[in-house]
């Protein structure tokens, strides 16, 4: 193991963790996958809140999910979109080695054979207009074929430092959805904007669809725990239509309970109704000034009255009213190829006039290499 740093890592209480996240989230984004309640959502994993300490001062936190391997008391440790530490590479107070070495040592002692993490470190950004132009020209197949409108040299430097510390990344991690959590997301900036500003930035189709939903009488309302069954009904229809395995209703009930108990404003349910039927339903999660569209569903019926556009517009308006700086539509593929089945994701989200954001992606550190390789082989056989 690498030498001990000046920082120490130890288990903290959920209250300590939440207090730190609430303070930090007022200044910068902290993922909803890194709040204490997310550990309660992932029932198939053990979990613990970690704190980084400089003496007695807590300077960082992380939610570590621990997945036990069959028949042995060893774990894969996973910090989705975390940890929440200072990833700055320009004149940092602590080096990445000082942050990550004590985390690895703690998780090793905990019985982890490998660590996976996916820090929310931005690397590149492409504006909607740039991508629309590239798609129209037809020469670009993937996001990286297009010159980014914004690059963060610090984010790229983090990649180099992680490799130097022994962390690895899948060669194809950026293609499609190669990571567990998406490396590419689509976001709409909200800071210092009005509803009129946002509507103006939407493309003509989005504006027309929002008006069409209004004229047709689509009503978007906030749901409660008891409405999760209605959400789940259209979610199952969506899964069957799009070819993915749906989560069961108990998962969403557990998510609602855990997050609502932590903060009554953490999670919201939206239902788009038309003539008494639920045609679209979504969940919105908020941490500080960042709001995420986390799950979405739409019925096979009533698509002509555009309930999906109506419910998205309601979530964007509420996020703006609640002081959020970012509305996050979550994952997109990196494809710009109109023949790719995943192209529809970015095509729909481009209409909001936001930007495609590339994060650093997920990284792995093998603490017990033999067991880590055996686990990789086990997953490959499943």
Mean pLDDT, range 252-265, rounded to an integer: 98
pLDDT of residue 176: 45
Q: What is the predicted pLDDT for the residue at 174?
A: 45
**In which band, very low, low, confident or very high, does the pLDDT at 170 lie, cut at 50, 70 and 90?**
confident
Would you state the pLDDT for residue 49?
Answer: 98
Q: Does domain 123-151+184-359 have CATH number 3.65.10.10?
A: no
Q: Provide the mean pLDDT of the chain.
A: 93
**Which residue pairs from 150-157 have beta carbons closer than 8 angstroms and sit at least 24 positions apart in sequence?**
150/124, 150/125, 151/123, 151/124, 151/125, 152/121, 152/122, 152/123, 152/124, 154/87, 154/88, 154/89, 154/90, 154/121, 155/121, 155/122, 155/123, 155/124, 155/360, 156/123, 157/89
- Grade residue 382 by pLDDT with cuts at 50, 70 and 90: low
Residue 271 pLDDT greater than 60, yes or no: yes
pLDDT digits (tens, 9 = 90+) for 156-167: 899 999 999 999
Report the b/e string of 87-117 with b at 16+ CB within 10 A.
bebeeeebebebbbbbbbbbbbebbbbbbbb
Q: How confident is the model at residue 3 (pLDDT cuts 50, 70, 90)?
A: very low
DSSP run (H or E) holding 58:
strand 57-68
Model confidence at 308: pLDDT above 50: yes
Ordered by start, the domain boundaries in the chain are 8-118+362-381, 123-151+184-359
- Which pairing describes strands 112-117 and 363-366: parallel, antiparallel, or unpaired? antiparallel
Asked if 112 and 76 count as a contact pair (C-beta separation under 8 A), the reply is: yes
pLDDT greater than 70 at residue 26: yes
The string of pLDDT tens digits covering residues 91-104 is 789 999 999 999 99
Q: How confident is the model at residue 89 (pLDDT cuts 50, 70, 90)?
A: confident
pLDDT score recorded for residue 6: 83
* Whether the domain at 8-118+362-381 and the domain at 123-151+184-359 fall into the same CATH topology: yes
Nearest Cα neighbor of 330 from 279, 289, 284 is 284
pLDDT value at 47 more than 50? yes
* Banded model confidence at residue 172, pLDDT cuts 50, 70, 90: low
Residue 5 pLDDT grade (very low, low, confident, very high; cuts 50, 70, 90):
low
Using 50, 70 and 90 to split pLDDT, how confident is the model at 1? very low
> What CATH number should be reported for the domain whose range is 8-118+362-381?
3.40.630.30
């Amino acid at each position: 193991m690498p030498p001990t740093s000046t920082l120490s890592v130890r288990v903290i209480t959920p209250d300590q963790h939440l207090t730190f996240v609430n303070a930090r989230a007022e200044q910068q984004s902290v993922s909803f996958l890194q709040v204490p309640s997310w550990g309660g959502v992932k029932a198939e994993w053990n979990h613990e809140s970690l704190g980084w300490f400089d003496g007695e001062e807590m300077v960082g936190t992380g939610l570590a999910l621990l997945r036990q391997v069959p028949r042995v008391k060893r774990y894969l440790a996973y910090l989705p979109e975390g940890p929440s530490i200072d990833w700055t590479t320009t004149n940092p107070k602590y080096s990445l080695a000082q942050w990550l070495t004590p985390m690895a040592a703690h998780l090793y002692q905990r019985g982890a054979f490998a660590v996976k993490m996916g820090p929310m470190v931005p690397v590149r950004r492409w504006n909607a207009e740039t991508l629309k132009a590239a798609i129209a020209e037809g020469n670009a197949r993937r996001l990286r074929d297009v010159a980014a409108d914004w690059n963060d040299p610090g984010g790229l430097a983090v990649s180099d430092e992680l490799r130097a510390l022994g962390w690895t990344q899948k060669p194809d991690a950026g293609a499609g959805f190669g990571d567990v959590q998406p490396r590419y997301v689509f976001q709409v900036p909200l800071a210092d904007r009005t509803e009129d500003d946002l509507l103006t930035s939407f493309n003509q189709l989005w504006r027309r669809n929002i008006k069409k939903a209004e004229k047709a009488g689509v009503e978007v309302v906030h749901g409660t725990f008891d409405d999760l069954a209605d959400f789940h009904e259209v979610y199952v229809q969506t899964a069957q239509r799009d070819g993915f395995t749906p989560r069961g209703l108990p998962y969403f009930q557990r998510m609602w309970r855990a997050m609502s108990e932590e903060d009554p404003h953490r999670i919201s349910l939206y239902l788009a109704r038309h003539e008494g039927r639920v045609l679209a339903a979504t969940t919105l999660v908020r941490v500080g000034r960042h709001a995420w569209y986390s799950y979405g569903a739409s019925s096979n019926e009533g698509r002509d009255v555009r309930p999906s556009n109506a419910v998205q517009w309601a979530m964007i308006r509420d996020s703006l009213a609640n002081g959020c700086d970012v509305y996050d539509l979550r994952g997109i593929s990196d494809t710009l190829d109109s023949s790719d089945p995943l192209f529809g994701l970015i095509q729909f989200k481009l209409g909001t006039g936001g930007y495609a954001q590339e994060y650093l992606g997920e990284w792995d550190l093998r603490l017990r290499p033999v067991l880590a390789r055996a686990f990789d082989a086990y997953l490959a056989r499943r």
